[in-house]
Amino acid sequence: MTDEANTHIFAMIDQLLEGHQWLERNLGIKPRSGWAIDPFGHTSTMAYLLKQTGISNMLIQRVHYSVKKYLAKQRNLEFFWRQNWDQNGNTDIFCQMMPFYSYDVPHTCGPDPKICCQFDFKRLPGGRISCPWRIPPVEIHDDNVQERAKLILDQYRKKSKLFRTKVVLIPLGDDFRYDQWSEWDQQFQNYQKLFDYMNSHPELHVKAQFGTLSDYFDALHKAADSGNSPSSFPVLSGDFFTYADRDDHYWSGYFTSRPFYKRMDRVLESYLRAAEILYSFALVGAQKSNKMAMFPSSENYKLLIESRRNLGLFQHHDAITGTAKEWVVVDYGTRLLHSIMNLKKVIGDSAHFLILKDKENYKHTPSTPFLQMDDSQASQDSLPQRTTIELSSIPRFIVLYNPTDQDRISVVTVQISSYKVRVLTASGRPVEAQIGAVWDKPITVSKSVFQVSFMAQVSALGLGLYQLVEAPDIKTVPADYTLYLNGREELSIDSPFKINMLKSYTGDVTIENLNLKAWFSGTKGFLEKINTKEDMREHQINIQFWWYGTTSNRDKSGAYLFLPNGEAKFLVFR
């Protein structure tokens, strides 16, 4: 089950495609129903995507308890979920919202968990888990089947009062269940005795059976269409955020938990899409050039599949949310990094083939890659490091890729070993550029590493080629810097850049280009106003920081929850 708050639509679609293709190829199955009982809130985007995959019914669970209570009173827990912008119902998907606190057995058979827990037969005495209400389940036999059947049937009937048809779904499971054959026997054998008793007594007016989620929806729609039940299910639009399961326990802490891995997810997404497009172009080119024997098509296709699956896996509601245990997070991070490295290989191999004018010169040598990427990451929990391009009089070539479907003109910045550099196009035409400093510390400039920035133009879905050459006569403009010392001692910085120092300053700091002028506070550094030159309009800006404390109650803010101790307070800078 994918998370539905932190995920990007690209990854959600990738997960659905990869998973559904696997099911069809390996099991011959096309899913008809959606099952999302554990994501911490639900988005209408997921409903829309499921509808587009051919799924016609879905089930959700984690919705704010007040919303559940309201819908239950109106018997609107089953509804058609429609997109906000849909005027005709073309996006409708039938949805059931589970009515109670949780999806475990104590909270699914009916409104009384103390009774429902007695029918979770994994909790029979002598097992690893028991019922918190201290009334254990008992095995079903001829002497107690009548009493036990009527007890649970009463819960079924009470649950049915919350819905519009006489068809009721009773899930029978929980986290980490059915991992041993003994539980299958415990649940099936005891429930089958209960069902046999119910079905053999017409006066009970019930038909009970095991079934799948799709079996349930089929029975529900059949009952709704029969005329014996009110079938006018309501239409709902919007999403179900933010989730709360009780009191003020709002599950919004996970929106920001472990942001490092949330970013890593987005990086993998961008590399995956770029690799897929370049690989497709290179594959077609290799086929036309009779170079399939040399081009690593099969090897790189496997890397693409593995990367899609690792991306899909990370959309799990305990992965991208940042709510997994530490050792699980390390495994996720390792998979993400492994896939990023593999996709860099796919991109490099594909770009290598595509930039060659004469494909006869193409030769794939895995031990010595033709192209090197502009950054590297040593481990799953380390920050990426920029690649420094060693310059000389021999041109170093930069290959730029534009993965969008529009021509792009953009500033490109790369790290180089010398500030004496010229930037040239592939044909040797000079390109205007600027040299920038690499700051080792806030007031320390590197003497061995620099940055060069220039405007690059690359066509849609195309590759661009530029040259970097070390030149003794500097043609590239160095950047100027102004340091605001804020009372610190003035320093002497040895560098090729012009660096001005301000000991103190209370006036506004301004920066300006052809399009706008911006004013920043000289004391706080905050942006205060912007002047847009095209329309000569002035826009006032007010930036403030506010902070929340955490509650003194037993439950605290954490990976899942956001539990402040009151309203936000203004953060005063001293």
Query: Across residues 46-54, what is the average pLDDT?
Result: 96
Q: What percent of the chain has pLDDT over 90?
A: 85
**According to the per-residue pLDDT averaged within each range, which of 290-294, 476-480, 488-492 is highest?**
290-294
Judged against a pLDDT cut of 80, whether residue 491 lies above it is answered with no
Note the pLDDT tens digit of each residue in 338-373. 999 999 999 999 999 999 999 988 999 999 999 999
Q: Which of the four pLDDT bands, split at 50, 70 and 90, describes residue 283?
A: very high
Judged against a pLDDT cut of 90, whether residue 428 lies above it is answered with yes
CA 409, CA 499: separation in Å to the nearest integer? Answer: 30
Q: Which of the four pLDDT bands, split at 50, 70 and 90, describes residue 219?
A: very high
Q: Which of the four pLDDT bands, split at 50, 70 and 90, describes residue 227?
A: low
Enumerate residues 6+ apart whose C-beta is below 8 A from 523: 506
Judged against a pLDDT cut of 70, whether residue 5 lies above it is answered with yes
Q: What is the pLDDT of residue 507?
A: 80
Judged against a pLDDT cut of 70, whether residue 229 lies above it is answered with no
Q: How is residue 525 written in tokens?
A: 């550094």
Judged against a pLDDT cut of 90, whether residue 231 lies above it is answered with no
Query: Across residues 291-308, what is the average pLDDT?
Result: 95
Q: Which of the four pLDDT bands, split at 50, 70 and 90, describes residue 131?
A: very high
Judged against a pLDDT cut of 90, whether residue 226 lies above it is answered with no
Angle at 31 between CA 46 and CA 36, to 5 degrees: 40
Report the chain's mean pLDDT, rounded to a whole number.
93
Angle at 224 between CA 219 and CA 226, to 5 degrees: 95
Q: What is the pLDDT of residue 502?
A: 76
Judged against a pLDDT cut of 90, whether residue 60 lies above it is answered with yes
Q: Taking a C-beta distance cutoff of 8 angstroms, is the pair 183, 127 a contact?
A: no
Note the pLDDT tens digit of each residue in 78-128. 999 999 999 999 999 999 999 999 999 999 999 999 999 999 999 999 988
Judged against a pLDDT cut of 90, whether residue 490 lies above it is answered with no
Length of the chain: 574
Residues β-bridged to residue 306: none
Q: What is the pLDDT of residue 553?
A: 87
Q: Taking a C-beta distance cutoff of 8 angstroms, is the pair 128, 174 a contact?
A: no
pTM above 0.85, yes or no: yes
Q: What is the pLDDT of residue 398?
A: 96
Q: Which domains does the chain have, with CATH numbers?
A: 31-249 (3.20.110.10), 256-384 (1.20.1270.50), 387-503 (2.60.40.1180)
Q: Taking a C-beta distance cutoff of 8 angstroms, is the pair 320, 261 a contact?
A: yes
For tokens 């109106």, the residue is 74
Range name among 90-99, 257-266, 515-524 with the lowest pLDDT average: 515-524
Q: What is the pLDDT of residue 444?
A: 81
For 297-443, strand residue ranges (E) read: 375-376, 385-386, 388-389, 396-401, 408-416, 421-425, 433-441
Query: Across residues 391-400, what is the average pLDDT?
Result: 95
| Residue type, position 381, single letter | D
Q: What is the pLDDT of residue 232?
A: 82
Q: What is the DSSP secondary-structure string of 264-289? A: HHHHHHHHHHHHHHHHHHHHHHHHHT
Q: What is the pLDDT of residue 440?
A: 84
Note the pLDDT tens digit of each residue in 382-394. 999 999 999 999 9
- Catalytic residue numbers read 38
Note the pLDDT tens digit of each residue in 326-335. 999 999 999 9
